[in-house]
Structure 1
Amino acid sequence: MDFNKNIKDAEHELSRLARQKEQEAAMLEVLPVRHELNMAAFEKYMPGIHAFFKEYQPVRPFRFFCNENGVPNVLWLDDDVALYGDDPFAEAQAQIAEVIEHSVLQCIDFVPQWHLEGQIHIAYNNAISKLKENVSLEGLPLRKALDADIPLSFMYGIGLGYQLGYLYERCRVRNLFAFEPDLDMFYASLYCFDWHKLLEYMEQESLSLHLFIGVDEQLLVADMMEALHRKGAFWSASYFSFCHYHSPKLHALIDKAEGELYLLKTGWGFFDDNIYALAHSHTHLQDGTPFLKRERDTSLVEQVPVFVVGNGPSLDQSIEFIRQHQRQAIIIACGTAVSALHKAGIKPDIYVAVERTKSSADFLRILNADDFLKDAVFLSVDVIHPECKTFFRKTGLTFKPNEPMFAMLVSRFGQAFEYESIEFSNPFVGNTGLNYAALLGFKQVYLFGIDNGYKYADKHHSTLSLYYNEKREAKYNENLKGTFPAPGNLGGEVRINHLFGLAIHNMTRVLTSHPDMRCLNCSDGAYIEGAIPQGVEALQVSSPELDKIALLDELMARSFQPFDMGSVDFNAALNVTLFDDLLEKLRTDWRTVKYEHNDILAMMQRHHDYLLYLLMSRDCHLYRVLIGSMNYFYANIIGLMMTLMDAAPDKFEAKVKEAEVILERFFDDAKPIYADAFQRHDSVYFVGLDIFKKK
């Protein structure tokens, strides 16, 4: 045995422990000072965070410690495990180096789309897409994009925050979404990391940080969508994500967030749609069409079963049950499901539609079932095509909250506005049907044919519907490319796409906000959280037969009333002059911006801020009219610039100038269209409806 070596090792360890003790003593003096500085910074920049943690008491016991390097670390006392190893700084620095080296930017790669005649948004977005000359954005390494600002990043787990400093040393992230589900962890970071320096830096550099602390998994995606739209949805055009540390709670959050990130890139709306919305809504108001009241008695149908019927393939399995119990429940036919019910000889009591284009009315003409429909009530949204009303005995409408007319009216009436809005009517008409059932006060809801997905390419709708011929053969096969698996309602899996995912998400939001509503999902499609899976063979409905006409007449009388058109000067409210001035401001900015990547991104943020300012004003409808197209155009241009990362400056400038010219053509065309907005009904026949004419 080498006693001299052992003595030296012991002396070295004693010396190290002494240094560590000195460092810990110094650390414990610094921690409260840093906490005070950080809390002052949060009070200035994020007062909500400051208010929450001002009196916060940790739930999980821990203590701060450090090694002889003096870097604060956390030891969780319940399992005697430290967050970091010997050198937290070195760990954080190494992690960021690995993130930079191996991350791939996830980019929205717009490709030219078919569009209806007269719609300018898609035409010009297609023109921007073509500027990329088929250069793919797939697999773009983060390390090759470091010369430019990165639009967006998702960081899962904040830990003590050390990695943030190293991240911003290596790249500039314009919008960082940082998630920390552990409140105690974030509380500890307030003592360890110089948040005050980071917040000051981001303020000076006009960079954005959004903290999701202790986030509820169920509200996560909604919170993310709200935060992104506040910054500008176009920033989702290019992003990367990484995980800072590992824990079961954090992994559950990552699974939820990453699995539904696609929801951030759907449902933005666009200019032409918003013009139709203004025209159609204005006509309904002029016609005296009743709208759903905010204050209404919903007790009438609490004990009445309602069948919400979609046109999914599993409707075929339920049609006999619906037939047998049709007199005991109110039947809501959602969109094309009415063609399946028509073939089965089952009359709907309520028909709902949501698509604003003329195709909604043209479909009913093709169905050619006026006598079948005439006793039904038509329920829809304010943007629906006015011709739809002519097929039904009564109509009731509800305002869509993210449309320009609702914004225009609420900005004038405020809390005195007497009318309800329907928040989750998109993306499919099944969403409208379920949301209406909830708004009208139904508590016993049954979903049939609300599949929100496919099991087979040739089984995409009910075989009784107009999507199938008289031999019940599919008139086309669904393309399952771009679909992904999701849990099945009655077991197994179904294939869904991004829109189906949004539909499922929005149905869950409806059910969550109406906890007293019992919803049985009898569809053999995708699972909907909040609905009870129930095969049709096990269903029982024991309620008495209904006098449906009398019941619905009473329900309509209690729930809907016309709007007083004399209370608003709509032409003045349109404010054409301000719209034109805004487009000229955007045009001037594009003509004067330096053709450099970061300058263009900064200008895009300013333009979003212009619209955000309008959203807070009396002219907030202008935000609704333009925000969708701005998001699409700017996301597309960000993608274009990403393809030009290695391009020579003159080529970069030439391509961006081409995009600018396309935008200017959009500005020129948009002005006269907006000035005439209330007369701009959709009048184009959609040739895709011809499939319903085939026998």
Structure 2
Amino acid sequence: MGFQEKFEQNKVVDAIFTKNMQFFELLSPDVYAEFKSYEPQNLTLAFDESEHINIINRKTGRFVYPERPEQYADKQVDKFLRDTKASVIRFYNPHVVDTQYLHHEMMDSLVELRGDASMPEFFAQDEQLIQQLFIVGIGSGLHIKALLEQKALNNVVIIENNKDSFYLSMYFVDWESIFRAVKGQLKIIIGDTEKEILDNLHQYTYEVGNYVFTKMFVYRHYVNSTLDTLLENFFKKLLAPSAAAGFYDDEKVGLAHTVENCQRNIPPSTVGLLQRKIHCQLPAVVIGNGPSLDGSEHFLRANKDKMILISCGSSLSALEGMGIKPDIHVEQERPYDTYRWLIKSTTESFRQGIYFYGLNTVHPDCFSLFDADKTGQCLKPNDLGSIYLSRSIKKGHTLSFADGSNPTVTNFGLSLCVLLGMKNVFLAGVDLGMKEIDKHHSEKSYYAKAKDESPNIFKFIEATDDKFKIKGRDGKELYTNAAFNSSKLNIERLIDKYGLNVKNLSDGAEIRGAAFESNDYIVKEVAGKDKIKTLQALHEMVFSSEGVLPESKDKVKSKVIIEAEGLFSQLREILKLTVENEEQLVNRLSEIRNSFWQTKLDGYTAMLFKGSIETMLSAVYSVVLYGGVENYSENFAKSCQIVNRFLDQVEEDMKHNLYNLDTYCNL
């Protein structure tokens, strides 16, 4: 190729780049500002051996594409369409217990409607419209252009952690044309850090709804282990139990318990000490009830006087069995079951003198089992009860949330450390994984006896439907599930966010930022620190009822009922419509979601229903997909009947039971 031909190629790519910059200047000024004078670090443009413009890695001297980039893109797209199957989220009912929650009844009915039908395989080449596509890697971007020439795409997320790549793509493809070709939302995530990318993914989830992930395709343009792991963790979090997202009965109970806890004058958390740079000098140990807790008994016994012991959930019974009394005990679950568990698994004399902290959603009777002057309620983020507390605080007073307190009680234990200013933390029995599926709790806890009394108590934990393997101590593999993995990720986030110094004594999941430590470790004594006085001082600094003036229950109830009636009326009109194919199905689900979010609901009403609405949409999508294309109309109609019944039941329930305390008990 002569000079003139190369000159003409350069003119073409320069023109494309100029057009792209003009486009992004209007669409996204931030992108324009970052890339208008950008200098690539590792990748750049160069003429390859065939004298075509390619991308070359400066460090290795190798071209990214082994042939003309356009040809490579075409071949890769053909292979993607031919070989790639959709990932489909399947809802199932473990049939563990009957909670009598209306949301669970609706979800169980939807799952039963699906029956035992096996999920059909969906290949990309057979899709008329790919509803949700993740593209890992931008490169030249030509594969995106080539794919759009063959397939209609609805919602697309493009993820890239190399800014060089996105910059160079602006010399190859017309991004304005790509944005115009995508029917739904196109989100480009270019992040330097895992947190930045995950935050953008969660924002996208909020914008489009969880239901779009019920059936999705993943296009991997190149091998990127960092992005693959990140996406895998994101997808696993999506698979966590629907309870993690909240639902009608869950939020209703949380509100009722918070109202009652306020009436019983349980002081809320008002400040977060680590956020205010106030540090507790004594180290803490967060104690879970994993099977490795038994191996940490020696460590706890040897160091208990030099650190603050925080028992989480059922680990309290194991500690009583060991004869080791914690300084603090925490609970996070709403059900009455938690109260019954505490009574049956521990003695009154053992509980005396222990500080007890629960999330605001915890059953009020749990607080009554501990010394009244040593209790407090911590605000759960993204929660209806916390909205109530926030609106019940006088001007000039503050409240502090228990950041990262879900999904497991050990998450709350670490979150409490942040509130109490404890930066140096050990983890004991925080396994979040199992070497054997039927060995998931300490042998010294009440669970051994409880299993004999209630054989179904472990069915959900031992179910294999959502199990997968992760790395543990010494690289050994463990079984875990979506909830435990989500717990691990939240612990990692807290460690990173607050700069915690964490040592992991557990023989469980590998937790980033928490190096494994031997149980023979000896904790150094902090001179001049009296543990009893320290605990009292921390309690008085963080927890106070001063300035709490509870909002009128009747006023809240009236507002919620009126708004719910209007919302349900809109939803019932949409549920009357028919569906003949997947595109219509997705449109109906989108209409339902838009009706919910575009109705300007008060925070109480929105929080009460958003979890059930979002989860229901995903379940309906899944159920209709299982039924096959010939049954779209029938399955959607049957699903709508189930949803309508749920709306009818909720309307009656709100009128009569909005402030009823929880009664569910599995013991």
Using the size of structure 1 for normalisation, the TM-score is: 0.87
Partners of 2:134 and 2:392 in 1: CA distance? 38
Cα pair 1:463 1:472 within 8 Å, conserved: no
SS in 2 for 1:83: coil
Amino acid at match of 1:600: L
Say whether residues 1:631 and 2:609 are aligned partners: no
Query: 1:98 aligned to 61, 72, 79, which one?
Result: 79
Say if 2:461 is the partner of 1:484.
Answer: no
SS at the partner of 1:314? helix
Q: Which residue of structure 1 lines up, in the alignment, with residue 69 of structure 2?
A: 88
Greater shift, 441-450 or 501-510, is seen at: 441-450
Residue 575 (structure 1) aligns with? 560
How far apart, CA to CA, are the structure 2 residues paired with 1:38 and 1:413?
50
Cα 1:126/1:252, change in 2 over 3 Å: same
Pairs within 5 Å for 1:266-665: 266=240, 267-294=244-271, 302-393=280-371, 394-407=374-387, 418-469=398-449, 479=462, 481=464, 482-489=466-473, 491-515=475-499, 517-543=500-526, 547-562=530-545, 564-566=547-549, 568-573=551-556, 574-592=559-577, 594-613=579-598, 619-647=602-630, 651-665=631-645
Partner of 1:10: none
Q: Residue 257 in 1 paired to residue 241 in 2?
A: no
Amino acid at match of 1:576: I
CA distance 1:472–1:404, shift in 2 (3 Å): closer
How far apart are the structure 2 equivalents of 1:40 and 1:620?
Answer: 40
> Does residue 669 in structure 1 map to residue 649 in structure 2?
yes
CA distance in structure 2 between the aligned counterparts of 1:471 and 1:654, rounded to whole angstroms: 42
The one-letter code matched in structure 1 to 2:187 is: H
Distance 1:305 1:595, change over 3 A: same
Any conservation in 2 of the 1:312–1:449 contact (CA below 8 Å)? yes
Q: Which amino acid aligns with 1:341?
A: L
The 8 Å contact of residues 382 and 400 in structure 1, kept in 2 or not, is answered as yes
Q: 1:417 to 1:626 in 2, by over 3 A?
A: farther
**Which of 107, 110, 113 does residue 88 from structure 2 map onto?**
107
Cα root mean square deviation, aligned = 3.1
Q: Is the 8 A contact 1:374 1:392 kept in 2?
A: yes
Deviation per CA, 1:289-347, whole angstroms, max 9, x where unpaired?
21111365877762112121111111111113212332222111100000011112222
Match of 1:173 in 2: 153
Change (3 A) 1:473 1:565: closer
Partner of 2:659: 679
Q: For the residues of structure 2 that align with 1:601 and 1:591, how far apart are their CA atoms?
A: 15
Q: Contact (CA 8 Å) 1:341, 1:348: kept in 2 or not? A: yes
* 8 Å contact from structure 1 (residues 404, 621) kept in 2: yes
8 Å CA contact retained: 2:394, 2:547? no
**Unpaired stretches in structure 1, ≥5 consecutive residues:** 1-16, 690-695
Q: Per-residue deviation at 1:458?
A: 4.4
Confirm or deny that 1:119 pairs with 2:123.
Answer: no
- Distance in 1 (CA, whole Å) between partners of 2:40 and 2:114 is 52
Cα deviation, residue 160, structure 1: 1.5
**Of residues 172, 178, 191 in structure 2, which corresponds to 1:198?**
178
| Alpha-carbon shift at residue 377 of structure 1 (Å) | 1.2
Q: Could you report, residue by residue, the CA deviation over 1:515-537 in whole angstroms, capped at 9, with x for unpaired residues?
A: 1x321111111111111210101
Give how far 1:544 is off.
Answer: 5.5
> 1:255: Cα distance to partner?
3.2
- Looking at structure 2, the residues matched to 169 and 414 of structure 1 have their Cα atoms a distance apart, in angstroms, of 59
Mapped to 2, the partners of 1:343 and 1:260 lie a distance apart of 38
Q: Report if aligned partners of 1:120, 1:666 keep a CA contact under 8 Å in 2.
A: yes
Kindly provide the CA deviation profile for residues 612-640 of structure 1, in whole angstroms up to 9, marking residues without a partner as x: 446xx672343322222222221122122
| SS of aligned partner of 1:537 | coil
Aligned to 1:49: 31
Q: Deviations over 1:525-558 (max 9, x none)?
A: 1111111210101333433596444332221111
1-structure distance, mates of 2:108, 2:454:
31
Task: From the superposition, tell whether residues 42 and 315 of structure 1 become closer, same or farther in structure 2 (CA, over 3 Å).
Answer: same
Is the alpha carbon distance of 1:320 and 1:613 closer, same or farther for their aligned partners in structure 2, counting shifts above 3 Å?
same
SS in 2 for 1:326: helix
Deviations 1:396-423 (A, max 9, x none): 1221111123346658989977111123
- Partner SS, residue 470 of structure 2: strand
CA distance in 1, matches of 2:269, 2:550: 18
Q: 359-368 or 111-120, which moves further after superposition?
A: 111-120
Structure 2 residue identity aligned to 1:31: V
Cα pair 1:155 1:179 within 8 Å, conserved: yes
After TM superposition, give the deviation of residue 509 of structure 1 in Å. 0.7
| Distance of 1:513 and 1:437 partners within structure 2 | 13
Amino acid of the structure 2 residue aligned with 1:539: I
| Structure 2: distance between partners of 1:124 and 1:365 | 32
Match of 2:209 in 1: 232
Question: In the TM superposition, what is the alpha-carbon distance from 1:429 to its structure 2 partner?
Answer: 0.7
* 638-647 or 380-389, larger mean C-alpha shift: 638-647
AA partner of residue 27 (structure 1)? Q
1:334–1:351 contact (8 Å) kept in structure 2: yes
SS at match of 2:170: helix
Cα distance change, pair 326–439 in 1 and its aligned pair in 2 (3 A): same
Say whether the 8 Å CA contact 2:331–2:357 is kept in structure 1. Answer: yes
Matched residues in 1 for 2:640 and 2:68: separation? 50
Task: Supply the distance in 1 between the matched residues of 2:353 and 2:391 (Cα, whole angstroms).
Answer: 37
- Give the CA deviation at 1:465: 0.6
Partner of 2:122: 140
Tell me the secondary structure at the aligned position of residue 356 of structure 2: strand
Alignment partner for residue 128 of structure 1, among 92, 110, 115?
110
The change in CA–CA distance for 1:133 and 1:343 in structure 2 (over 3 A counts) is closer
Residue 559 of structure 1 deviates from its aligned partner by: 0.8
1:63, distance to aligned residue in structure 2 (A): 2.7
Alignment check: 8 A CA contact 2:299 2:521 kept: no
Are the counterparts in 1 of residues 356 and 370 from structure 2 also a CA contact under 8 Å?
yes
Aligned residue pairs total: 654
Question: Match for residue 241 of structure 1?
Answer: 218
Structure 1 segments (4+ residues) deviating >6 Å: 66-69, 297-300, 411-417, 470-478
Shift in CA distance, 163/408, structure 1 to aligned 2, threshold 3 Å: farther
Q: Aligned with 1:679: secondary structure?
A: coil
Instruction: Provide, for residues 561-619 of structure 1, a one-character-per-residue CA deviation record: whole Å limited to 9, x for no partner.
Output: 226454744544443212221121111112135543212312322333344446xx672
**Aligned-partner residue type, residue 390 of structure 1:** S
Relative to structure 1, the CA distance from residue 109 to residue 467 in structure 2 (aligned partners, 3 Å threshold; closer, same or farther) is same
Q: Does 1:39 align with 2:21?
A: yes
Contact 2:331/2:362 (8 A) holds in 1: yes
In the aligned structure 2, how far is the partner of 1:417 from the partner of 1:169?
Answer: 59
Give, as a single letter, the amino acid of the residue that structure 1 aligns with 2:526. S
Percentage identity across paired residues of the two chains: 25
Residues 333 and 351 of structure 1 are in contact (CA less than 8 Å); yes or no, is this contact kept in structure 2? yes
The range that moved more, 344-353 or 164-173, is 164-173
Letter matched to residue 570 of structure 2: K
Report the secondary structure of 2:513's partner residue.
coil
Alignment CA distance shift 1:283-1:168 (3 Å): farther
